[in-house]
C-alpha cells in the first residue's frame, strides 16, 4: 500500500474517532465513570482503572468483529 493511501486512511480513522468521542461526551452515562470502575485516592497519589468501561468496550468490539466475520 502506498504511503499516501495509508496516510489518507489514517486521517479518516482519526476523524471518525474524534466524531465518536464528541458524540459519546453528550451521553448521560459517561464512559470511564461507570459503576465498577476502580478509583483509589490516597494522600499524595491516586489510582484509576476503568474496569467496567474496559469490559464494555471489549464486548462491543468483539460483537462488531463477530458480525463482520459472518
Output the tens digit of pLDDT for each of the chain's 70 residues. Answer: 688 888 999 999 899 988 888 887 787 777 778 888 999 999 999 999 999 989 988 999 999 899 988 8
**Among candidates 24, 53, 57, 58, which has minimal Cα distance to 36?**
53
Residue 47 C-alpha cell reads as 489510582
- pTM greater than 0.85: no
Measured in residues, the chain has a length of 70
**pLDDT at residue 68, as a whole number:** 86
Amino acid at each position: 500500500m502506498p504511503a499516501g493511501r495509508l496516510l489518507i486512511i489514517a486521517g479518516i480513522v482519526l476523524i471518525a474517532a474524534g466524531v465518536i468521542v464528541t458524540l459519546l461526551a453528550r451521553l448521560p452515562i459517561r464512559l470511564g465513570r461507570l459503576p465498577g470502575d476502580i478509583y483509589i485516592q490516597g494522600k499524595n497519589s491516586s489510582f484509576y482503572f476503568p474496569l467496567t468501561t474496559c469490559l464494555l468496550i471489549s464486548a462491543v468490539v468483539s460483537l462488531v468483529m463477530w458480525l463482520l466475520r459472518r
